[in-house]
Structure 1
Amino acid sequence: MIDFSAVPRIMVATQPVDFRKGMNGLFVLVASTLEADPYCGDIFVFRAKRGDRVRCLYWGGSGMILATKWLENGSFTFPPIKDGPMIAEVYLIEQQIRGEGAEVRYHARQSRSAAIMRSLKARLLELKADISTQSALAKAINYTLKHWTGLTAFLDDGTIEVDSNVVERSMKSVALTRKNSMFVGNARGGETFAILASLINTALCRARHKALYADRRTMPSASSGRNGKPCVPSQFGGSPLFGTRHSSHAQRVFRNSRSRSLGRNRSALARSYGFSFASADSFSSRCA
């Protein structure tokens, strides 16, 4: 049973999806099309091409959950989706220009994304005039229009991202650490907890950005590298599809390790997450 009170958001696909994809296919669809983290706790809802089934993809904390619901004839009719500007088009443009310089990103956004955002705003104003002011949709539209300046800030600056999802996911780890720190019994335990937290996060950085970590000997603290270009994993052979998210291999190893004893999997964790803390030169050659 899904605890909806703990779910941050429910995201519904606006177009039918081929259900032959299965869990892995829907996982990749979330990461590539929505550019969202499937492990963030949101519920992602998809509908079949014939409209007779819906599927929910959800990370339950200990594993990925895929639930399927068959719909009886006439029990539910999917509303028609009007062709028009969709925010997904903006994210598609961002995917195409990821890794480019600030000037290239700026000109692409001005020539392509700006028109989409203007059309989207016009569509929101049109919907707002046709629906009840007390409806949930009207409140969502008003919230979007209220923050429109911040929402479109990426159009005038090629150095910033289209959204703040990366920052929000970083805040989640801070909040979880604050909650877990409540169970530290004394100062010595707090020091041990801090060491382990630093160790694990360093290992996760290596798992996410192996080539980038090896090239710089450390994780970048800014959005630009030594040559002034943006520091993105795709420049170092990483997949631009997942960006800063966990690789599927790292996630799989982590989940498997949780269900086994630490002693049996210590060597596997060292190979996958870099617990050996080899020197930068040996690590660079190992990731080449």
Structure 2
Amino acid sequence: LANNWLFTGIAFATLWGTFFPMFSEILTGQRISVAAPFFNKVNGPLFLMLLLLMGVAPLLGWRHTSLSAFRKQFTLPTIIALITAALVFVFARSLYPMIGLAICAFVTATIVQEYVRGAMARRATTGENIFIAITRLWSRNGRRYGGYIVHIGIVMIGVAIIGNEFYQQSVSVTLARGETVNLGHYELEYAGIETNRQPNLMEFSARLLVYDTDNGQVLDTVHPKRNIYDKTPDMPTSEVGLRMTPFEDVYVVLNGWDNSGSSATFTIYVNPLTMWMWVGGIMMAIGTLIAAWPHATRRRTESVRSLVYAPGD
């Protein structure tokens, strides 16, 4: 029930923020825009509460949970959450990321704990190894354990959002050929721009070398592009230059350049943990597939129902 109320609150806040400019213009004659900070301030805490309930609710009894059972279920996840909060506070000194990442760690720990308990129980009764036991959990109770995988995917997306929201770095800069700019742990050097004629467009592709500032090693080369179409030259499109790692992405946008290509203007971002948003989406899809798959118990139930309610009875 609490989850439903939180989903309703998030939906209402999003709807209100979307239509508020229109309502304000109708009522006052002045259009008041609502930007991203409104949605972040309102929906952010609601999303964190939703994450917390994802870890708590599956472990509580339907009607009553004894104090001893509560301690058994939540002692280890709480310890892991507190350790995570302490580490984030020591290295980042930021309250909201500390709370958010601690909740993500708590939810992850509760899910891993449930998987370990289920797999160990099967191993004790059947002698299966741990990996076979986990697959048997999926086949016997896919709705529950597939749902846990969906929750892990949501946690990953939450971690990515926290990283991007609180630790993103960016700079807009004009570089001459051979000139460099530092951002985060990276140094980027502009190496020139190439022009390529395509069947229906002109492609302008810049080349930037990405260095590690700690050791000066070349990590990658990124190629942000701008495409100008023959039929719509006033509507160019951009292709970002991207270096993606599990820890952070370097994201480069080509904004403009001089006629000779000797200098160009870029907007550069370092986005922490963005990859985990994509991984989280994949995990959600896998968990949904496991939960929706017709498992053995469900097939037997449907078979019995078809016999009991056979046509002509």
TM-score (norm: length of structure 1): 0.25
TM-score (norm: length of structure 2): 0.23
Q: For the pair shown, which has the larger CA radius of gyration, 1 or 2? A: 2
Q: Which has the higher strand share?
A: 2
